[in-house]
Amino acid sequence: MSMRYNSGLDGIKQYVGGKQKKDAQTFFDGEPVKMSSNENPLGVSPTALRFAAESLPESNIYPDGANLELRKGIAALFGIGPQNVIVGNGADEVIYYAAMAVTNDGDEVVIPRITFPIYEIAFRIMRAKIVYSEMKDCYIDLQDVLDKITRRTRVVCICNPNNPTGHALLHDDIYRFIEAVGPDVLILMDEAYSEFADGETFPDTVSRLKEGRENLFITRTFSKIYGLAGFRVGYGIGGRELIERLHRIKLPFNISLAAQHAALGALQDDDFISETLSTTRDGRKLIYAALDKLGLRYIESSTNFIFIDTGKDGDLVADELMKRGVIVRSAKNYGTPTHIRVTVGTKEQNLRFTDALASVLK
Ligand code: PMP
């Protein structure tokens, strides 16, 4: 008799994160720049760091398992109650919880072909059937997502702005989409990069939830604009019943004391957020100008990363950049063989990238 495993795992490829500095150090003598995982190039929010440090001596005590103070802090940002918020060990965790909460064997989940891979993993674990929505060029096609919904569909996943393309769907399109999806289908709206998007045209999905669209579950993270990727804090916003059910699944003490305090500090650090935003906006412009000069196609980004068609094999370009001390992500595994995704960095990092790219493509 041999071991039997969860059959949902058979179709899963392990998630592989962006390459690390140590990967580059085997090829490159100097200090490499890591532009592969969309982290904040300015570091950790200083207020977050201070709050976390102050909490450390109390780390012999379990943190508040209900994460209530942090949920209240997040809720206040959106004018909702803490009963509408769950916090997770990264947004990844709440995405897993959502999959666990709504999926039964064989349910269908619609996922755009080119998007963040965690949805597919989480729903496959739950033995869902993944139905891919085809992209229009490299853009999510909301009409195609709607067309893929059947009686068996339980969830549709929309990453807005989308990773790895960086493209944001506009409010009118998203509002129409939300109206068109039946109330029995959960819309997993992943807004991990929303803070980088244009506030004028970006959808206010939380207001739709407040208006009664209880099939919306909106996920966000402290990993990007707040600079807390290493602390691991993300959250989900949804209807009270969904959030209550997610708390039945939640690990009892899923976020460390230090991480909870870091997130509370980050929420107060408006200066850090403005600085991150202006660094990102300036950085996008600098990189666009260099890409224009090289004659490369890219998608205008609403995030802190840019999706670039290098016209050459993406793995090869990423390897060559690595040899020059610049770590980016090849997008070959997303089904876009000639693309790379680069995180917008500081001015100095962006120049290292654009110089290295010009030298690779010469
Ligand atoms: N969603 C998207 C689109 C992401 O890119 C990421 C981070 N790579 C996450 C969710 C998860 O973020 P975290 O778990 O760090 O909060």
User: Is any atom of ligand 1 closer than 6 Å to the C-beta of 221?
Assistant: yes
The pLDDT tens digits for 92-144 are 999 999 999 999 998 999 999 999 999 999 999 999 999 999 999 999 999 99
Closest residue (by CA) to atom 12 of ligand 1? 91
Closest residue (by CA) to atom 6 of ligand 1? 192
The pLDDT tens digits for 268-311 are 999 999 999 999 999 999 999 999 999 999 999 999 999 999 99
User: Is any atom of ligand 1 closer than 6 Å to the C-beta of 92?
Assistant: yes
Substitution site in 118, 233, 235, 305 for ligand 1 pocket (most atoms within 8 Å of beta carbon): 118
Residue 26 pLDDT more than 90?
Answer: no
- Domain match, 200 and 235 both: yes
In 181-239, at which residue ranges do the beta strands (DSSP E only) sit? 186-190, 216-221, 234-237
The pLDDT tens digits for 147-156 are 999 999 999 9
Substitution site in 96, 116, 158, 334 for ligand 1 pocket (most atoms within 8 Å of beta carbon): 116
The pLDDT tens digits for 197-216 are 999 999 999 999 999 999 99
DSSP three-state, residue 123: helix
Whether residue 4 lies inside any domain: the answer is no
Local confidence band at 80 (pLDDT 50, 70, 90 cut-offs): very high
pLDDT at 25 (0 to 100): 83
Mean pLDDT of 26-30: 84
Whether residue 201 lies inside any domain: the answer is yes
- Domain match, 105 and 144 both: yes
Residue 179 pLDDT more than 90?
Answer: yes
Answering whether pTM is above 0.95, one says yes
CA 332–ligand 1 middle distance (angstroms) = 19
Residue ending a domain, among 246, 266, 286, is 266
Beta bridge partners of 343: 305
- Domain match, 353 and 259 both: no
- Could you tell me the CATH number of the domain that includes residue 104? 3.40.640.10
Whether residue 91 lies inside any domain: the answer is yes
User: Is any atom of ligand 1 closer than 6 Å to the C-beta of 117?
Assistant: no
- Domain match, 325 and 285 both: yes
Tell me the residue range of the domain where 353 lies. Answer: 17-43+270-361
- Domain match, 155 and 73 both: yes
pLDDT at 1 (0 to 100): 81
Residue 18 pLDDT more than 90?
Answer: no
Residue 29 pLDDT more than 90?
Answer: no
Walk across the sheet containing 129-133 and list its strands: 85-88, 234-237, 216-221, 186-190, 153-159, 108-112, 129-133
Give CA–CA dist 244/76, Å, rounded: 19
- Domain match, 163 and 257 both: yes
- Domain match, 246 and 294 both: no
